[in-house]
Amino acid sequence: MTANTGPASTGKKRLILNLFEMNCVSHITHGLWRLPGNNRERFNDIDYWVELAKLLESGGFDAIFIADVIGTYDTFRGSAETSIRQGLQIPNNDPSLVVPAMAAVTRHLGFGITFSTTYEPPFAWARRLSTLDHLTKGRVGWNIVTSYLPNAARNFGLDGEVEHDKRYEIADEYLDVLYKLWEGSWDDDAIIADREHNVFADPAKIRPIFHQGTHFKVEGPHLPSPSRQRTPVLFSATASGAGTKFAGKHTEVVFTGGPSAAFLRQTIANIRQAAVEAGRHPGDVKFITQAGVIVGRTAEEAAAKRAEYERLTDAEGYLAHAGLPFDPTTLAPEAKLKDVVDSDGGIGRWRSFDPERTVGEFLANFGDFSRFALFASGTPEEVADAIEGWLDEVGIDGINLTQFHSYDTARDFIELVVPVLRARGRLRTEYDPDETLRDRLFGAGDRLPGRHYAARYRGGAHLPEAWPTADPDFLTA
Amino acid sequence: MSDVTSPRPRPLHFAAFVMNTTGHIIQGTWRRPSARQTNFNDLEHWVNLAKLLERGKFDAIFFADVVGLYAPYRGDERKYFETGLQVPSNDPSVLASALAYVTEHLGIAFTASILQEHPFNFARRISTLDHASKGRIAWNIVTNYLPNASRNFGLEGLTKHDERYAWADEYVDVTYKLWEGSWAQDALRQDRASGLHADYDKVYRINHSGPRYSVEGPHLVSPSPQRTPLLFQAGASEAGRTFAAKNAEAVFITSPHASVAARDTADIRARAVTHGRQPDDLKFFQGLFVLPASTEDEAKRKSAELDKWIDWDGQLSHMSGSIGIDFGFDDLDTPIGEIQTEGVQSAVAWIKDLVPGRPATLRDVARLTASNVRIVGTPEQIADALATWQAAGVDGVNLINAEIPGSYEDFVEHVAPVLQRRGLMQSEYAPGTLRDKLFGRGDQLPGRHPAARYRGAFAPQPVTGASR
């Protein structure tokens, strides 16, 4: 049992290496689907995902991390026109359903799947994730999101976005329901499969959860039996106040970002502190960030590739993606962002952009990849140097590798960077066979540690034995 | 009845009727040494089955599903756990992409209740799978008859039978709007030279507003090969038949006799006509279990041997828990009498049909759930029996198993060749989507289906949040 990211024998922190994906054409590098040889528009085709999964496993990637939204970016210039024209996350397909095909052709690759807690009942999602954890033999992670698109809210019958802190309150209860189902509803030894006495499962070791909260009422029991990890590896992406508390309590791998190394260091410190306050250890939370890498055999080759990617980048895609409630192309270039942007909600996920910048700088910046907080371009050694700096100086544990080109980005990384990182003790040379995703990331077994909040429900502890309100009609309806 | 002098019959369609669990229809048989259905958690179990079915030229694999426990039997749910009766169970939909990847022609049908998911998300998941499978997905539309399932989704108990169908009407209406109306067929352009990925003027919001759902759209997924998946449905009650007549392309029936199938298929086809559809817009799949052997005596011996493994109390519990009346404390000779239930209404009629002339007892119920649907004999005899069903108006068979993969191995090895020789089963797959394979009329729903009215129905308008 060797943690991928714990201190290796070399004493060096190992890199968590994920590919950042989304089941759509234009995820986060807008305009680049047009690059020659780019496979992005094959996302409807299951072969795209299968080929990608095999490639990633050949290069020792820990996981493929699949983002998702359930609405359309339609605020920029008051319409979805820019998004639809550019393939900016529309059309987009469900992320969880390409996983089984990828699981069928791999043995080790992990899967981080994004799903929102705001609009769907928890019971079906808990079951789907358990099914996936069974199918993959414990290689599933869930990226918990609360959704931020107003159109998503209107797709699910609400008039508008649920307010930010309220979404986290719902998410907190949602997870409580899931922990009860995953950790508390079935004991590990509930399946007996005694052929002689015709007892498949022992009812005494399986129980309803009788959850009654503010937002959800769920009886249970959980329908799947315990999977390898029970609770999948819990990812979440956050930097906000409510999000920090949430991550401190729940998250195992925080997907974070920010405009600077200092910002990232502060986020990491804040969330580790929140984890400690929630009774966890600082090392119970790992941090990954989106990172761009453009590598070439020579500096010239890398520079040429970068120049081509930057040239095809489409700034308007980024503006629409930001969901900007204003059109910066109509604002005074010298105005500072902080003066025209509601830093709390208006730019949402773009809060990592420096509010001290001017509108003009902001607009000029899209075609310059230096704007990414974590970006490296150059020879394999230069790139590896940068990544080691992120690990040791910024303090992150891993990256979600941004794709400029599918599959060139992953293929280049595997061919050129992985060997260098392996030689430097930053990546393992092979997978441990039969290891779950959680065990690979933390090296402490398949299940959540006992100090995680979810563990309180194990063995049925903290679960009522009946509905709190005695209502005979309810139980026999 | 078909014989060698008759004109060559049309092939029947065959689907493997399975569930992502240990004990689906025939209880207790998981204990047989050769049975592997306890491996349902493993992907490989299903991948191997799908490959087997495709080798055998099955039209589809059909996954049943429930999202709760059956209603109490003998006072609680103990029996279901002990015999593995549909618990533990896993979500069937997530298997679909893997099964699509390892097969080329097999249809992939799965059951999803309107209870478990918002139609916006569900429509998106189906479209994703229809893309991944290149148009081989079918949805078995179900409401819900299990009170525990209702309580898993925040309701106090079972929704009234007819109200469930009103709910289903709106649910499918939302999905039809998303699947058929939200994107013009030529909206996706993917023009690298101009950078135009999709034509904004051909992607529409649906702005659905109904009693239960309010959905803006647009659909997030571009049109998949079938757009609307092939629509399966199984309700046999009055409301269920009406729903099938309006919506279903394939109807799963469990008639006790071919004569009942003849009556019911004619009834539902006639109702379909009143909804502007044609009689052959619907295919009927009868649930059957076949037990072949090289001689009739050997088949009977195998059938008797199978009976020894069946958990008859489990069979009764399944029926009891479906109709929501606890028979668990009653003597097996108790007549079932007149039953009013919000559960599975057709089950009660089914039993009465099978026991004419005297009151049906609980013993009848237990026995018939596992034996009535069983055809025992040589492959030739099985073919004869299937031809009888076909003559009664049945188009296909949903093939029940006693064992996975054993029941399907037996069928593929021994029965399928005979059926194929007699023209009762396809020997080669037709090209195209599942819908085109079954109906031979193209990939998408015919224009007279109610979903088709949403094609082009959402006038070009700005997809704008700011205008609200």
| Residues B109, B113, B114, B116, CA torsion sign | negative
A474 inside 8 A of chain B by CB = yes
Separation CA B75–CA B432 (nearest Å): 50
With a cut of 70, which residues of chain A have pLDDT below it?
1-10, 239, 341-353, 469-477
Measured in angstroms, the CA of B428 and the nearest CA of chain A are apart by: 24
- Identify whether residues A103 and A188 lie together within a single domain: yes
Q: Which residues of B touch A114 (CB under 8 A)?
A: none
Least CB–CB distance from A103: residue in B43, B133, B154: B43
pLDDT recorded at residue A344:
36
Q: Six-digit token pair at B457?
A: 């129905």
User: Chain A residues with CB inside 8 Å of B68's CB?
Assistant: 219, 223
Query: Is the CB of residue B38 less than 8 Å away from at least one CB of chain A?
Result: yes
If we measure between CA atoms, which residue out of B3, B142, B59, B35 comes closest to residue B434?
B59
- CB atoms A70 and B72 under 8 Å: no
Q: Give me the pLDDT at residue A183, please.
A: 98
Pairwise CA distance, residues B425 & B2, whole Å: 13
- DSSP class of residue A39 equals -
Is residue A257 domain-resident?
yes
Contact A224/A201 with Cβ under 8 angstroms? Answer: no
CATH of the domain at A193: 3.20.20.30
Q: Are residues A242 and A339 in the same domain?
A: no
Q: Which residues of chain B have pLDDT under 50?
A: 1-4, 466-468
Q: How many whole angstroms separate alpha carbon A340 and alpha carbon A360?
A: 12
Decide: helix, strand or coil at residue A12.
coil
Are A44 and B30 within 8 A, CB to CB? no
pLDDT of residue A285: 97
Indicate if A260 and A331 belong to the same structural domain.
no
Contact B224 A44 (CB under 8 A): yes
Q: Which domain holds residue A333?
A: 319-366
Tell me the domain boundaries of chain B.
Answer: 13-295+375-454
Confirm or reject contact between B295 and chain A (CB < 8 A): no
Is A79 within a domain?
yes
- Within a domain: A1: no
Q: Is the CB of A221 inside 8 Å of chain B's CB atoms?
A: yes
- Put simply, whether B170 touches A (Cβ < 8 Å) is no
Regarding whether A86 and A67 lie in a shared domain, the answer is: yes
B-contacting residues in A 99-138 (Cβ below 8 Å): 99-101, 103-105, 119-121, 123-124, 127-128, 130-132, 134-136
Write out residues 249-308 of A within 8 Å (CB-CB) of B.
none
In a domain, A4, yes or no: no
The verdict on A362 and A392 lying in the same domain is: no
Q: Is residue A405 a contact partner of residue A31, using CB atoms and an 8 Å limit? A: no
Nearest CA in chain A to B68: A223
Interface membership of A86 toward B (CB under 8 Å): yes
A39 and A131 within one domain: yes
Contact B343, B319 (CB under 8 A): no
pLDDT of residue A345: 41
B220 interaction partners in chain A (CB closer than 8 Å): 70-72, 90-93
Q: What count of CB pairs under 8 Å joins A to B?
A: 265
CB A236 within 8 A of CB A254: yes
**Cα–Cα distance for residue pair B40/A191, rounded to 1 Å:** 13
Domain identity same for A340 and A443: no
Would you call B89 and A224 a contact, using CB atoms and an 8 Å cutoff?
yes
Q: Write out the H or E segment, with its range, that includes residue B112.
A: strand B107-113
* Same domain? A306 vs A352: no
Residues of B in contact with A196 (CB under 8 A): 31
Residues A251 and A327 in one domain: no
Nearest to B87 among A25, A90, A223 (CB): A223
Q: For residue range A165-212, list pLDDT tens digits in order.
A: 899 999 999 999 999 999 999 999 999 999 999 999 999 999 999 999
Question: Are A93 and A155 members of one domain?
Answer: yes
Q: Are residues A356 and A265 in the same domain?
A: no
Task: Examine residue A3 and state whether it is found in any structural domain, yes or no.
Answer: no
Amino acid at B361: T
Query: Do the domain assignments include residue A76?
Result: yes
- Report how far apart, in Å, the C-alpha atoms of B300 and of each of B28, B307, B377 are: 19, 11, 7
B412/chain A closest Cα distance in angstroms: 24
Domain count, chain A: 2
Residue from A105, A133, A198, A471 to probe the interface with B (highest B Cβ count within 10 Å): A198
Does residue B147 sit at the A interface (CB-CB below 8 Å)? Answer: yes
Alpha-carbon distance of A178 to A147, in angstroms, equals 18
Mutate to test the interface with B, among A105, A131, A180, A314 (most CBs of B within 10 A): A131
| Cβ within 8 Å, pair A119-B118 | yes
Contact by Cβ (8 Å): B124, B221: yes
* 8 A C-beta contact, residue B432 and residue B50: no
* Same domain membership, residue A189 and residue A67: yes
A76 and chain B in contact, CB less than 8 A: no
Nearest by CB: A155 against B147, B188, B216: B216
* Chain A interface test: which of B151, B192, B403, B458 (most A C-beta within 10 Å): B151
> In this complex, which of B31, B81, B91 lies closest to A195 when CB atoms are compared?
B31
Query: What DSSP line would sit under A306-325, residue for residue?
Result: HHHHHHH--HHHHHHHTT-S
Q: Which residue of B has its CA nearest to A51?
A: B101
Which overall architecture, per CATH, does domain B13-295+375-454 show? Alpha-Beta Barrel (3.20)
Nearest to B82 among A34, A186, A203 (CB): A203
The alpha carbon torsion through A182, A183, A187, A190 (nearest 10 deg) reads 10
Instruction: Flag if A154 and B214 touch (Cβ within 8 Å).
Output: yes
User: pTM for this one?
Assistant: 0.93
Cβ atoms of B58 and B342 within 8 Å: the answer is no
B90: chain A residues, CB-CB within 8 Å: 127, 130-131, 134, 223-224
- B203–chain A Cβ distance below 8 A for any pair: yes
Task: Break chain A down into helix, strand, coil percent, rounded to 5.
Answer: 40, 15, 45
Q: What is the pLDDT of residues B71-125, one digit of tens each?
A: 999 999 999 999 999 999 999 999 999 999 999 999 999 999 999 999 999 999 9
Euclidean distance between the first and the last CA atom of chain A, given in angstroms as a whole number: 49
